[in-house]
Amino acid sequence: MDYRFTLANERTFLAWMRTALGLLAGGVAVHELVRPFRHHGLRSAVAMSCLVLAAVIAVGAYGRWRHVQSAMERGDRLPRTVMVPILAAGIAVIAVLASVGLLLS
Amino acid sequence: MTPPSDRPVTPENLPAAPQGLAATPQDSVATAQGLAAERTALAWRRTAIGCMANLLLFVRAAATSEYRPVVILAVVAIAALAVVTVVCVRRGAVLHSHRKGNWGNGRRSITAFAGTISAVVATALGIAFAYAVSAA
């Protein structure tokens, strides 16, 4: 077993976890720092979307690490991932919600 | 100036390759693995520092918020930071040990880390949900 690949898998997991941590911080920051939103519901929606996406990414990163690890141990091809489209779509939704909130404020 | 040796020139008595330059494919793989271990240890530290910044934000939020249940989040965040620190230090020690080829796959560290961060996110979600319900 070549350690370069297991260590790369570990670093990829850590990079996904940093993404989740960024979303977590974003959710808290939106809730704590953004006062001028007149629509509290929209502000909560942005914060909640960040937190839900952070949860999905954190759990998904672990599952992804395990799948890649077992595929490498068996010598199979690497499994496909749905994490990238989930992250892209989630961030797009958050950006749209935040833009609407800013326009309405 | 050294006098010319009368020994025949063979691979054995050629001067050694300078340190850091890979001499054989095996050395090259070993160096690449050592560098990968170093990068992984740095990634752990970077992630732990990110956690620290994040969880301090939670503690600050708890200190300034009038909504009392946020204190639970601060307690969970402090406990999580302790776990993350221990995991990062232990994994870093394994990755910095020069028992090459014996770094393991980090399963325990990764499971503990993912579990801890998931617990923090779940707590944050629960409290945000409770707040949204109480505000509505």
pLDDT digits over A23-44, tens only?
999 988 887 776 655 666 788 8
- For chain A, positions 2-31, list CB contacts with chain B under 8 A: 2-4, 6-11, 13-15, 17-18, 20-22, 24-25, 27-29, 31
pTM of the model: 0.84
Closest CA relative to residue B114, chosen from A78, A83, A27, A16: A16
Predicted pLDDT at A96: 94
A 10 A CB-CB count for B114 gives 22
Contact A98, A26 (CB under 8 A): no
Task: Indicate yes or no: CB of B64 within 8 angstroms of CB of A51.
Answer: no
Q: State the Cα–Cα distance between residues A19 and A47, nearest whole angstrom.
A: 15
Closest CA relative to residue B72, chosen from B136, B126, B16: B126
Q: Which residues of A touch B52 (CB under 8 A)?
A: none
Which of A5, A19, A24 is most worth mutating to test chain B (most B CB atoms within 10 A of its CB)?
A: A24
Which token pair is B111?
Answer: 């499971």
Which token pair is B42?
Answer: 């740095």
Q: pLDDT per residue over A57-102, tens digit each?
A: 999 999 999 999 999 999 999 898 899 999 999 999 999 998 988 8
Q: State the Cα–Cα distance between residues B125 and B135, nearest whole angstrom.
A: 15
Which CB contacts under 8 angstroms, 24+ apart, belong to B54-59?
B54/A21, B54/A24, B54/A25, B55/B80, B55/B81, B55/B120, B57/A25, B57/A28, B57/A29, B57/A32, B58/A28, B58/B120, B58/B124
Contact B101, B32 (CB under 8 A): no
Q: Which residues of A touch B51 (CB under 8 A)?
A: 21
Which of A4, A5, A6, A7 is most worth mutating to test chain B (most B CB atoms within 10 A of its CB)?
A: A7
- B112 residue type, one letter: A
Q: How far is B114 from chain A (nearest CA, A)?
A: 6
ipTM, two decimals, is 0.89
Q: pLDDT per residue over B73-131, tens digit each?
A: 999 999 999 999 999 999 999 998 866 668 888 899 999 999 999 999 999 999 988 88
Task: Indicate yes or no: CB of B125 within 8 angstroms of CB of A21.
Answer: no
